[in-house]
């Protein structure tokens, strides 16, 4: 494996036991993502994509194997350390934007900063900057219900950028958007990647994955070797 992996899976297996049956969400997956890469994880529903992302963020733990992120073994960290670490290193966007409906766009973006005290002086400015990065500077005072789906996803993206994490994880971020709007969101991920973010995008849409610098195919919990 390469020396400079930012994210590393070493022989990772995640298995769910249901009565007598074992369901392998991931089987002996090894994978390296280098700093600055934009990797698309592509595979059919149920192939283990979300499991893979959740292991990077430490939301989930492997049954065997190890997950390393930025030289720390995420799979071995306790919950408190993990929560703090995640707030610094990882931004996450999901298929459903998960914005708080009673907060404005700007306030939604400020939320993760409030969980982390460091930037208390400049929260509002930093949130405004994050909204600018996703092209929504003018929408700061609007509620989610006053925004289109694409705009809501961009607010969610700005929220993921709030603490300026080096790594962005996106789990089917276009799953709830029309094709053109989805393509725009992925284009934005490309821009953020060029600005220095390491990105792992999960999608089942091969066309969207082309924006990435590398495509990793998963099927039945395994990574398919490139032909
Ligand atoms: N909490 C769970 N309990 C049991 N099985 C699960 C659980 N989470 C995921 N799985 C199973 O693991 C497999 C991979 O799931 P997932 O990573 O969500 O796939 P994808 O994101 O590619 O659709 C699926 O077969 C799914 O049903
Ligand atoms: Mg999924």
- CA 133 – CA 44 distance, rounded (Å): 31
Whose CA is closest to 56, among 37, 44, 72? 72
Nearest CA to ligand 1 atom 3: 16
Q: Which pLDDT value is given to residue 116? A: 66
- Blockwise average pLDDT, block size 10, the chain, 227 residues: 81 95 96 97 95 96 97 93 93 93 96 70 87 94 96 95 94 92 92 96 91 95 83
Q: Which pLDDT value is given to residue 4? A: 78
Q: Which pLDDT value is given to residue 117? A: 60
Nearest CA to ligand 1 atom 27: 46
Q: pTM of the predicted model, to two decimals?
A: 0.93
CA of 14, nearest ligand number: 1
Spell out which residues line ligand 1, taking CB within 6 angstroms. 16, 23, 25, 43, 45-51
Q: Which pLDDT value is given to residue 1? A: 46
What is the fold of 35-61+78-223? Answer: Rossmann fold (3.40.50)
- CA 105 – CA 70 distance, rounded (Å): 30
Domain range annotation of the chain: 35-61+78-223
Please identify, by atom number, the ligand 1 atom nearest to the C-alpha of residue 218: 22
* Ligand 1 mutation pick, 46, 53, 60, 224, max ligand atoms within 8 A of CB: 46
Q: Which residues contact 107 (CB under 8 A, 6 or more apart)?
A: 100
CA of 46, nearest ligand number: 1
CA of 41, nearest ligand number: 1
Please identify, by atom number, the ligand 1 atom nearest to the C-alpha of residue 14: 12
Q: How big is the CA angle at 204 (ends 202 and 206), to the nearest 5 degrees? A: 100
Whose CA is closest to 150, among 191, 111, 105, 212? 105
Q: Which pLDDT value is given to residue 113? A: 84
Q: Which pLDDT value is given to residue 103? A: 96
Please identify, by atom number, the ligand 1 atom nearest to the C-alpha of residue 51: 17
Q: How far is CA 187 from CA 142, 179, 180, 208, 210, in A?
A: 24, 12, 10, 9, 10
- CA 222 – CA 217 distance, rounded (Å): 8
């Amino acid at each position: 494996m390469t020396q400079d992996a930012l994210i590393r899976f070493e022989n990772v297996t995640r298995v769910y036991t249901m009565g007598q049956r074992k369901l392998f969400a991931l089987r002996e997956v090894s994978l390296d993502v280098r700093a600055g890469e934009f990797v698309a994880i592509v595979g059919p529903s149920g192939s283990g994509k979300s499991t893979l992302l959740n292991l990077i963020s430490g939301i989930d733990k492997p049954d065997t194997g190890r997950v390393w992120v930025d030289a720390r073994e995420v799979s071995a960290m306790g919950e408190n350390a993990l929560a703090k670490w995640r707030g610094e290193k990882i931004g996450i966007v999901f298929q459903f934007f998960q914005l708080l409906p009673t907060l404005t766009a700007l306030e939604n973006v400020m939320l993760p900063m409030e969980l982390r005290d460091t930037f208390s002086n400049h929260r509002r400015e930093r949130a405004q900057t994050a909204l600018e990065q996703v092209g929504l500077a003018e929408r700061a005072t609007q509620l989610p219900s006053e925004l289109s789906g694409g705009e809501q996803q961009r607010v969610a993206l700005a929220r993921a950028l709030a603490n300026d994490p080096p790594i962005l994880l996106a789990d089917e971020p276009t799953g709830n958007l029309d094709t053109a709007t989805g393509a725009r969101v992925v284009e934005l991920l490309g821009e953020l990647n060029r600005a220095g973010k390491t990105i792992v995008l999960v999608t089942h849409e091969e066309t969207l994955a082309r924006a990435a610098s590398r495509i990793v195919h998963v099927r039945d919990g395994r990574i398919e070797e490139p032909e």
